[in-house]
Structure 1
Amino acid sequence: MKQCLFLFFLNLSGFGFAQQTEFVDFKIVEVSLNIKPEKQEVEGSVQYTFKVLKSVDSIFIDAQNMTFKTVLMLGNQTISYSNDGKKLWLKHPFKKDSSYNISFNYKAQPKKALYFINWEHHAGNKQIWTQGQGKYTSNWLPSIDDMNDKIEFDLTITFDKDYEVIANGRITNQKTNDSTTTWHYNMQNPMSSYLVAFSIGKYHKKIAYSKSGIPLEMYYYPQDSLKIEPTYRHTKQMFDFLEEEIGVPYPWQNYKQVPVKDFLYAGMENTSTTIFSDAFVVDSIAFVDKNYVNVNAHELAHQWFGNLVTETSGMHHWLQEGFATYYALLAEQEVFGDDYYYWKLYEYAQELLEQDKQRGSTSLLDPKSSSTTFYKKGAWVLHKLREKVGDKVFKMAVKNYLLKHRFKNVETHDFIFEVEQASGQDLTDFVKSWLEDETFLYEECMYSLKKHSEDFRIMHKLDKALKDNSYPSNSLINDYFEKEVSSKVKTYLLSKIDLSKVQDSVLKKAFHLKDLKVRQAIAKNLTKIPLELKETYESLLNDKSYITIEVALYNLWFIFPESRVTYLNKTKNIIGFNNKNIRILWLTLALITPDFERENKQAYFNELRDYTYSNYGFETRQNAFQYLNFIQACDQVCKENLQQATKHHNWQFSKFAKELLKKE
């Protein structure tokens, strides 16, 4: 009998994972969740409302490693079901054009897609957050993994009243009972299940309003109140710009942004609720070198390109990532100016050229393409297409494309059709050259940059002079640093010249420009510091840049051993980025400088080793592991923490730990 049932359900699955949308249209799912962090467990009740498009004897809901209780239809009619560990199969004679409500209770202990952070520690910043894209929401919520089935998800979550619960949509009700609070969130429109999200933690929030009246909720840790402005700098300006530039109103009720510890990526564009790495929570000094602006704009652009209209398959992934990358650049152009925009395109072109040289280039329509292709080449395609058809036509086509396909799924031809309609042009050749062909058209990109930006016309002359050796380095720096050229051109020149061959007097002129990025370029590229430049170079320790200070501290400590104590005293209280880049370097140098504070060596070692524990972010831990390994001081506790890190949910950190452990 069991074998017959197995074959029956196997046959039912023959209509396929991606084809269920032909038989049934899931409309709304109402979810009530009870999260139990001490067990890393989710208990929930779910009610699905759906319409049957073709009569069918069975439907499925994706559910990874869950247990279920009785499945009921509206009216408390019990129906047969089967749970194979990956899908919940519901057996019933579902009739065409009929609507159904089905409800059930479930329990799950997800291994991925839902992450419990710091709950093993008594203290610390305890969090719970989700990541659906690439991990599948069906690990913690019975849902439809097929992104072609768009559903309205309404979440109700009960949790400890001392925490904030943030989820997709708008809060319609919030009720506290004794020790818990129940949060009711409502979505008005459908989305793909990989965009369902929530985050739980101890947060405060700041609210601003867009020009169109959309609430912009910016969450932060209570201890980070002084970092709100630099972290979320330009948020409202970019939101207002993108609404106007795209030409389609923001499609959701509000926009929330939530930082979390040890996130898998820079950010994730969950519908109305972006979750991002708290590594981007910065002060004004960190903002210079590492800020949230690009990630902020990128995830915001996805609210239209990816969430409002969603790819049908990986073949059309550039419609999400290429568009988000391009529109993020436009938003940054609005904030930082034209030079920034063109230099970012230049950086993208260099990455794509290098990929080409390594024979890693693929068609933009290849679902196995790299992120570099989907993001960077996708952005270049849109830049070139806009250049080809003109601003007015391009904006009209984008608007028509979004409005025509809103809350639906799209393919590349849907977008190209709208551009052809608006422009009256046949884009067959363009599509072949830029989307279908594997080779990256680097020279065409460089021509475009030179056409639009004086910087790249100057760079062309510089490259020629450097290649021909027709211009002495001293003269190049003298000439170009006295001209009205951008900071980017100056830093580019410094990166191309052997600074050890440049006269001290010439380098002093460059130092005295007071340009943070120019001074940083000197710090990075001047590896041999002449005694005559020592005092000037030491001034880098006062710069408002954590990267510059880190580089300068190490170089000065290494080259001038007689002044090491002075440098350590001067930088003793500087922490740096959230990954404590300067503090961890400082501790390492303090430990290996024999005549520096011998009485504090053990305390400094303990602090450095403490940064390897899991209550710190993985970037901090990685820095600490690297330096301890470098000075051969990774003791038993350090090694135990390194072993624990091999099981971390962030695969890059886990890989790092495994590789470092092999060297021990």
Structure 2
Amino acid sequence: MAFWIKVCYIRSMKVLLQLCFCFISLFCFSQQAKDVDFKSAKVHVEIQPTIKKVKGQVAYTLDILKAVDSLYIDAVNMNIKNIELIQIHQQGDPEFLNFECKNNTKQLIIYYAFKQDERYELRMEYVAHPRKAMYFVDWVDGVDTVPIENNIKEIDLRKQVWTQGQGKYTSNWLPSIDDMNDKIEFDLSITFKKGFDVITNGRLTHKETQDSTITWHYDMEQSMSSYLVALVIGKYDKKIKHSKSGIPLEMYYYPEDSLKYEPTYRYTKGIFDFFEEEIGVPYPWQNYKQIPVKDFLYAGMENTGTTIFSDSFVIDSIAFVDKNYVNVNAHELAHQWFGDLVTETSGTHHWLQEGFATYYALLAEAFFFGDDYYYWNLYQYVQELLVQEKSGQSSSLLDPKSSSTTFYKKGALVLHLLREKIGNSAFRETVKNYLLEYSFKNVRTEDFINEAENLSGKDLSGFVDRWLKDKTFYIDDAMESLEKSTFIQEYLMVDCEIASSKCITYLNSGISDESKEKVITQNANLIKKEHFKNSVKVRQAIARYLVEIPKELKIEYESLLNDKSYLTVEFALYNLWTNFPESRGAYLRQTKGMVGFRDKNIRTLWLTLALLTSNFEPENSQQYYKELRDYTNSRYDFNIRMNAFKYLSMIKACDQPCKNNLKQASTHHVWQFSKFARQLLKEFN
């Protein structure tokens, strides 16, 4: 049977009136997920990164649960053509149907008398130039390196394409369903130029090689919400480990970062195995992939089986002390159960995703770092929530407009308190039953609470009213729970705002590093020579808070420049340079080759101090200035650029090329960075 090419048209005033009513009411299609079940999607996309273009074909299979006269696909600013609607009969050939449609700037709407309990297929071709959800990083056609600052040096272009659906944005590059209540089994094929790795959800089944491109074919076995469809294109190496249950764990890294693979992915397999044991439900997907990308919008994103995370977490062993990927790693992995396997019905129940992921990440970290670590972080959550309460910004956990602090931190605390209330055994059984009952479905808070009541035999209505519905944060109740920890008791006991011999001895005692840091925070003047013999974390606190350095502590303080902590070195270098002008050259020579984190925290500070230090290598001052200004260029990570802009502004040395780069930064896709750039531009003007 020949394929019909169906052109969209509207033939009657009746249809026009239907359209008007739908868009005026804004509720016309709100119930689609209850009436129409999109089952699967066969997707092929071809991406042209230099012109930010996506060209694709999609074939959706869908079941009609209740007779309707229309359905829609979310498609933002897309040119859609060659649309076909086919009824799939149980017996006989598929039937190509006549229909009417409307392609506006947000949706493709199909008008047809759809019959209950019948299956249909919807096919289309489309072209998109996504303004969000898909990001094209460092694409200059035919160029792999860019000369910086009058050909002084060249830097490699990262050249990536990556996506971030975040709830409802996938429809900017793929005609899909923004409503997370409709779960679809996606199989994706992506055509891209040779020399790049293409990574998406599911299992790579095969690759087809053409003259200049490769088509990568991926298969997903289970359904998921459209916002969890993900895509990364770049140049990577990877290592694969297997969980105890046999799940392949694919860990990607840039080829030049092979020595950073281990510290970046430290504890990954252990976290995975811990979750399967603690949660009691096997990992629900075929495999698990983690891919770092440049200039990501967030720390990480839990796309189904495919976590994308910021490459600022690609670290060496020294950086691991101060800034590691462990928490983000565990948080995004926990989402594979809480958010991906079971998904909120709406923002009202957002804590079921973020609160659970935060809580289970903390459990995983406690497994490796101990119970004190667990209680310390819960205590930090409580302090954040207390600040929110005192500022009048506290809100209900069931308020869809609540802050991240509420959804993440209060959500995790509520789970801790619930576990105490119903007992460990009942809590674990509740979570297990909840996940099994609602696998690949959408959930509300009452679904989870009902499971908890059934398993524990307790009436939780009062708990729900107090901790989920009430916007008040009950600090006394929270602290009563935390003070069951002797570690927290010890920390709260410390009070050294007034100097005392007892407080001095604390710093040489066996109390926790956190308690010692509290002493230093409250009264840095208590620090003596012998206190520099403490752990790296305590020495870091000394570097951070002892900013006016007594001469008798100069030698001990200088030893901080040798610590295996990039933060300690950064604090110590600045404070020593400020306190002892006569030794500035010596400090700069000692730290000359240090770079620090991926954001070059030590190097950018070093360049700034070198420029401000009279008679320090005057023959190199122009080179140092150009290097610092180079770091404002768009080819560098936004964190590096932010540091460079900050220091150039501080020393009033942001010249016209710097300001040009700042203007470009003001339109960057990372909103925190663009906001920073706009504010700095205002200060210059």
- 1:272-292 CA deviation, whole Å, 9 max, x = no partner? 000000000000011100000
Q: Distance in 1 between matches of 2:595 and 2:681?
A: 27
Q: Tell me the equivalent position of 2:69.
A: 57
Secondary structure of residue in 2 paired with 1:660: helix
1:238-387 matches, within 5 Å, as: 238-387=271-420
Which of 81, 100, 112 pairs up with 1:69? 81
Which of 582, 598, 607 pairs up with 2:602? 582
Which of 462, 478, 489 pairs up with 1:457? 489
Name which of structure 1's ranges 50-59 and 653-662 shifts more when overlaid on structure 2. 50-59
Secondary structure of residue in 1 paired with 2:223: coil
Q: Tell me the equivalent position of 2:152.
A: none
The reply on whether 1:6 has 2:16 as its aligned counterpart is: yes
1:121-140 matches, within 5 Å, as: 122-123=144-145, 124-134=157-167, 136-140=169-173
Q: Distance in 1 between matches of 2:176 and 2:456?
A: 41
Q: Tell me the equivalent position of 1:432.
A: 465
Unpaired runs of at least 5, structure 2: 1-10, 87-93, 146-156
The reply on whether 1:473 has 2:500 as its aligned counterpart is: yes
Which of 245, 249, 258 pairs up with 1:212? 245
Q: Distance in 2 between matches of 1:508 and 1:338?
A: 31
Q: Tell me the equivalent position of 1:545.
A: 565
Post-superposition offset of 1:488: 1.7
Paired amino acid for 1:488: E
Q: Tell me the equivalent position of 1:448.
A: 481
Q: Distance in 1 between matches of 2:106 and 2:548?
A: 60
Q: Is the 8 A contact 2:508 2:531 kept in 1?
A: no
Q: Distance in 2 between matches of 1:240 and 1:441?
A: 35
Paired amino acid for 1:249: P
Q: Tell me the equivalent position of 1:525.
A: 545
Q: Distance in 2 between matches of 1:179 and 1:544?
A: 47
Name which of structure 1's ranges 152-161 and 78-87 shifts more when overlaid on structure 2. 78-87
Q: Tell me the equivalent position of 1:163.
A: 196
Q: Distance in 1 between matches of 2:564 and 2:528?
A: 20
Paired amino acid for 1:620: I
Post-superposition offset of 1:3: 6.6
Post-superposition offset of 1:134: 4.5
The reply on whether 1:423 has 2:450 as its aligned counterpart is: no
Secondary structure of residue in 2 paired with 1:38: helix
> How high is the TM-score relative to the length of structure 2?
0.93
Post-superposition offset of 1:482: 3.7
Q: Distance in 1 between matches of 2:37 and 2:218?
A: 22
Secondary structure of residue in 2 paired with 1:354: helix
Q: Is the 8 A contact 2:74 2:107 kept in 1?
A: yes
Q: Tell me the equivalent position of 2:90.
A: none
The reply on whether 1:192 has 2:225 as its aligned counterpart is: yes
Q: Distance in 1 between matches of 2:548 and 2:79?
A: 65
Which of 516, 531, 534 pairs up with 1:490? 516
Q: Tell me the equivalent position of 2:648.
A: 628
Post-superposition offset of 1:8: 3.0
Name which of structure 1's ranges 302-311 and 184-193 shifts more when overlaid on structure 2. 184-193
Equivalenced residue count is 651
Paired amino acid for 2:502: S
> How high is the TM-score relative to the length of structure 1?
0.96
Paired amino acid for 2:64: V
Q: Tell me the equivalent position of 1:507.
A: 528
Identity of matched residues, %: 61
Q: Is the 8 A contact 2:167 2:178 kept in 1?
A: no
Post-superposition offset of 1:340: 0.7
Q: Distance in 2 between matches of 1:44 and 1:53?
A: 28
1:573-652 matches, within 5 Å, as: 573-652=593-672
Post-superposition offset of 1:432: 0.9
Q: Distance in 2 between matches of 1:78 and 1:188?
A: 32
Q: Distance in 2 between matches of 1:374 and 1:328?
A: 14
Q: Distance in 2 between matches of 1:442 and 1:351?
A: 11
Pairwise CA RMSD: 1.4
* Compared CA separation, residues 27 and 532, structure 1 to 2 (3 A): same
Q: Is the 8 A contact 1:17 1:146 kept in 2?
A: no
Name which of structure 1's ranges 268-277 and 72-81 shifts more when overlaid on structure 2. 72-81
Q: Tell me the equivalent position of 1:36.
A: 48
Q: Tell me the equivalent position of 1:100.
A: 120
Q: Tell me the equivalent position of 2:134.
A: 114
Post-superposition offset of 1:256: 0.2
Q: Distance in 2 between matches of 1:371 and 1:118?
A: 31
Q: Distance in 1 between matches of 2:358 and 2:349?
A: 15
Post-superposition offset of 1:2: 8.2
Q: Distance in 2 between matches of 1:602 and 1:7?
A: 69
Post-superposition offset of 1:519: 0.2
- 1:493-551 CA deviation, whole Å, 9 max, x = no partner? 22122x22x2xxx52221012x0000000111111111111010000000000000000
Q: Is the 8 A contact 2:494 2:518 kept in 1?
A: no
Q: Tell me the equivalent position of 2:153.
A: none
* Compared CA separation, residues 3 and 561, structure 1 to 2 (3 A): farther
